[in-house]
Chains A and B, each alone.
Chain A
C-alpha cells in the first residue's frame, strides 16, 4: 500500500532531470492554458503601458505619434526639476504621507490595545462593526460627508461651535486647517480597520503570560507594556516598514475628493500634478516623467524597506 502510493511521487524526480520543457507543457497543458488568460491581461494592461514610459524621454507630439516623436534625452526631466510646481508636489507628497504615518499608523495600535482590554465579546463585536464602517465608503462619499460636516457656512460642527459661543472655523477652506482636516479624516477612515491585524496578533498571545504577570503583581498598564506590546512588536515593525515603503505614493482619490479651490498649498501632490499636466493639459511627456520619477523612488523605497525588514529579522515584503 505504502509502496504503491509512493511510486508516482518517486517517479517524477527521476524523470525530471531528463525532460525538457516540452514534456511539462504536454503533461500540464491544462495549467498552462489556464494561466494564459491572466497572463494576457497582465501583459496588455500592465506591461504594455510600461512601454509608454519612453515618452518621458521624448518630445511627445500627438500628431507625430508614439514612435515618430523626437528623442529629447533627459531634457524633459531637466525641465521638470526646474518647475516650482514639481518641488511643491514632491514636498506635499512627502509631507502628507509622513504626517499620515504619524497619526494613521499609530492610532490603530492604540485602539487595538484598548479593544484588547475589553472582556465582553458582545461589546467588542458591536463596536468593531461600527469602527470598521468608514473603511467601506468611497472617498467621494467621505469627501461629501466632510463638506456636510465641516464647511464654514452650514457645516454642523461649525453650527455647534457657534451655539457654544465660538466663531466659525474654515476647516476645509484654509491651508493649515485643511491639512489638519485631511489627516483627521484619514485617521477616521482607517483607524478601525487598521486594528484587525493587531487584534489577530494579540489573540495569539498565551494567556498564561498574563496570569503569571498578575500573580507577580503586575497592573494593567504593566501588562500592556511588558506583554502585549512586545508580542505585537514584529507586526508593528513589518507594517511600519511597509508603510515607509509607500511614502512616495499618494492616493489621488482621497486628495481629489477633499480638495477645493480655496486651498491649493497642500493639495498639489504628484498624482494630482500628473492628472493636471497630462490629462487636463495634454502635456504627456512631462506628466509621464513625473510619474516615472515617483515610481522609481517608490520601488527603491520598497526594496530598501524590504532589506531593512530582513536585516531586523522580520519577514520581508518581497
Chain B
C-alpha cells in the first residue's frame, strides 16, 4: 500500500514542480513589468544629459549625477506645489474623516429614525451626479474658484467610504457593549467617543488612507478649478503642465545653463512626485487590501 502510494507520488510531484516553476516564472515576469518602468525612470533621472540624448540609459544610471534633483529643489514653484498638495491633503483627509464618522455612526444605529431615507440621500450620489459643468458652476457660484477650498470641500464626502465605515460599525461593535454603556447613562456622544471610535481605529486608518491617497493623486478638479492662481496648483497639476503638456518650462536659475534636453528633468520630477507615495506604500498596503475587502461586502 505504502509502496504504491510512494510510486505514484514521485512522478506526480516532479510534474507539479515544473508547473509551479513555470507559474512562478510568469508571475515574476509580470511583477518585473510593473517594477521596471520605475527603475528606468529613476535611472534616467540620475543620468547625465549626453547619455540620455544618445538613448543609452536602460536600467542603470549612466554618468551618474544628481544635477536634476538639485534643480528641482531650487525651483520654488515645484516646492510650492508640493506644499499646496500637503496642505490640501491634510485638510481634506481630516474633513473627510469627520464627515464619514458623523454620517456613519447615526446610520449604523438601529434606533435612528429616518435612517433609510438619509442613507438613500447619501448613497444616491454614488450613482447620479450633476456632472462636470453643474459642479463647476456650483463652485463658481459659491465663490470657491481659485481657492484651495475648491479642492478640499466638494469631494470630502465619499458615499463609498461611508458605506465601508457603516458596514464596519454595524458589524464590528458589539451591541451589548453599547447597551451596557447606555444603561450606565452614557449619551450618544459619549458612546461614540469612548467606545465606537477607539474600537474602530483600524478602519479609520484605512479610510484616512483612502482619502489621503485619492486626494494626493487627483488632478482633474485642480485642472478645472485652479485657473488663474498659478501659485495654488497642486503637485499633480504642476506635473501635468510640466511633463505631459510641456507648456511650462522649469524655472531655472538665471546663472544656470539651460538644459539641452528636458528628459532628465522630466524623469526626476516624476520620481520626486512619486517618492512620497513609494515611501508610505509598503506600510499602508495592507490597510488598503482590508478596505477593498470591506468595500466588497455590501451592507
Contact = CB atoms under 8 A, between A and B. Distances in A.
Q: Do A and B interact?
A: yes
B27 A278 contact: no
B76 interface: no
B216 to A, nearest CB: 7
A274 interface: yes
Interface in B263-299: 263, 266-267, 269-270, 273-274, 277, 281-282, 285, 288-289, 292-293, 296, 298
Interface residues of B, number: 96
A253 B218 contact: yes
A315 B296 CA distance: 11
A50 to B, nearest CB: 4
Given A45-B138, A48-B138, A154 B263 contact: yes
A261 to B, nearest CB: 10
Contacts of A216: none
Interface stretch (B64-72, B86-94, B110-118, B248-256): B110-118
Contact of A38 (B38, B111, B157): B157
A212 interface: no
A12 B111 contact: yes
Contacts of B106: 28, 31-32, 34-35
B136 A279 contact: yes
Contact of A31 (B30, B105, B131): B105
Interface in A113-143: 114-115, 117-119, 123, 127, 129-134, 136-141, 143
A318 B120 CA distance: 10
Contacts of B293: 196-197, 200
A233 interface: no
B151 interface: no
Given A42-B125, A140-B243, A144-B244, A53 B157 contact: no
Interface residues of A, number: 90
Interface of B is mostly: helix
Contact of A131 (B16, B31, B182): B31
Given A31-B188, A141-B270, A196-B293, A118 B130 contact: no
B10 interface: no
Contacts of B288: 132
A42 B162 CA distance: 12
B16 A220 contact: yes
A200 to B, nearest CB: 6
Contact of A137 (B52, B217, B267, B269): B217
Given A31-B112, A127-B27, A141-B274, A284 B137 contact: yes
A144 B224 CA distance: 20
Contact of B24 (A32, A118, A148, A291): A118
B154 A148 contact: no
Given A30-B188, A52-B130, A148-B266, A140 B236 contact: yes
14 contacts: A21-B113, A28-B109, A42-B121, A44-B142, A127-B28, A132-B285, A141-B273, A141-B274, A143-B240, A253-B219, A257-B240, A274-B133, A288-B131, A315-B298
Interface of B: 16, 19-20, 23-24, 26-28, 30-31, 33-35, 37-38, 40-41, 44, 52-53, 55, 57-58, 98-100, 102-103, 105-107, 109, 111-114, 118, 121-122, 125, 127-138, 142, 153-154, 156-157, 162, 179, 182-183, 187-189, 192, 213, 216-220, 223-224, 236-237, 239-240, 243-244, 263, 266-267, 269-270, 273-274, 277, 281-282, 285, 288-289, 292-293, 296, 298
Given A28-B109, A318-B127, 20 more contacts: A5-B179, A8-B179, A32-B106, A35-B102, A45-B157, A117-B20, A127-B31, A130-B35, A131-B34, A133-B35, A137-B274, A148-B37, A149-B40, A162-B55, A188-B33, A197-B296, A274-B132, A275-B132, A275-B224, A288-B131
